[in-house]
A = this chain, B = another copy of it.
């Protein structure tokens, strides 16, 4: 299998750096092909702007989505963007690894999403009408591939528990797991989260690697998060609200995940 690891930490000699090295070795030892996009090492351009395509008139008004659409369609995207899109198409599984900074991904990784996720590639795919709202949330260019987050955070697990002050980790990560990964079609595996990173000694690091290694061994058997596909009848279109009979009376992020049915 082909695995793309998109990695965003500025220091190779960090916990994240060590975990990344471990993950690559583990995957390669299992016979997988691995590519790493080490965004800091690549000096990745974080800010989406008019320079992301070439051949556009210098005085033309820049429209982030329309310019992206034209550049993608006409082959006028910057080469760094094209290369990352090719890696995504090559991969069977994509792992995003990053420290949680201010309750989201680092800017350099956010900028990777914004620039690589072109109109026509990751959004604006498929028929858009009042009867069909594109191929997204379970369909799209990246459908059939798997994705997973590896996230480190200084906070304690309890701070991210259902009643923890930072909000539940599943909700904190929802805009990424549902909005960035499920949106263009990925099946999203449960995240691998490492809390309280300041308390990492050798024994805990070993145990963390063991647990991560198991997750990597199980990449192709792990059940994805059961996000509801947009175009399978759960949503009214074009309002894109859950139909009354789906998760009746439930609101919020969790309503977009199918619950296991309990039979008698």
Pick from A10, A13, A137, A256 the residue with the most CB of B within 10 Å: A10
Determine how close the nearest CB of chain B comes to the CB of A249; give it in whole angstroms. 9
Is B163 a contact partner of A107 (Cβ separation < 8 A)? no
Within 8 A of B (CB), among A227-255: 230, 235, 238-242, 247, 250-255
Instruction: Choose one: B102, B154, B240; the contact of A159 (CB below 8 Å).
Output: B240
Is B114 a contact partner of A106 (Cβ separation < 8 A)? yes
Determine how close the nearest CB of chain B comes to the CB of A64; give it in whole angstroms. 7
Within 8 A of B (CB), among A171-200: 171-172, 174-176, 178-180
Is A165 a contact partner of B46 (Cβ separation < 8 A)? no
Pick from A61, A159, A251 the residue with the most CB of B within 10 Å: A251
Q: Do A174 and B167 form a contact, CB below 8 Å, given A10-B50, A241-B158, A252-B252? A: yes
Interface size class of A (residues with CB under 8 A): 35 or more
Is A11 a contact partner of B63 (Cβ separation < 8 A)? yes
User: Which residues of the other chain, B, contact A235 by a CB distance below 8 angstroms?
Assistant: 165
Q: Determine the residue in chain B with the shortest Cβ distance to A155.
A: B240
User: Which residues of the other chain, B, contact A253 by a CB distance below 8 angstroms?
Assistant: 167, 171, 252
CA of A114 to CA of B162, assembled, Å: 26
CA of A104 to CA of B106, assembled, Å: 12
Q: Determine the residue in chain B with the shortest Cβ distance to A17.
A: B61
CA of A137 to CA of B159, assembled, Å: 13
CA of A105 to CA of B48, assembled, Å: 12
User: Which residues of the other chain, B, contact A104 by a CB distance below 8 angstroms?
Assistant: 104, 110, 175
Q: What number of copies of this chain does the assembly contain?
A: 2
Determine how close the nearest CB of chain B comes to the CB of A178; give it in whole angstroms. 7
A220 at the interface (CB under 8 A from B): no
A164 at the interface (CB under 8 A from B): yes
CA of A179 to CA of B255, assembled, Å: 23
Further contacts, 16 of them, CB under 8 A, given A48-B106, A159-B240, A164-B239? A10-B48, A10-B49, A13-B61, A40-B49, A101-B114, A102-B117, A106-B114, A162-B251, A163-B242, A163-B247, A164-B240, A165-B235, A168-B251, A171-B252, A175-B175, A252-B252
Can you list 21 A-B contacts (CB < 8 A)? A10-B62, A11-B50, A11-B62, A65-B154, A102-B180, A103-B176, A104-B104, A104-B110, A106-B110, A107-B114, A158-B240, A159-B239, A162-B251, A163-B242, A163-B247, A163-B250, A165-B241, A166-B240, A167-B175, A171-B171, A252-B253
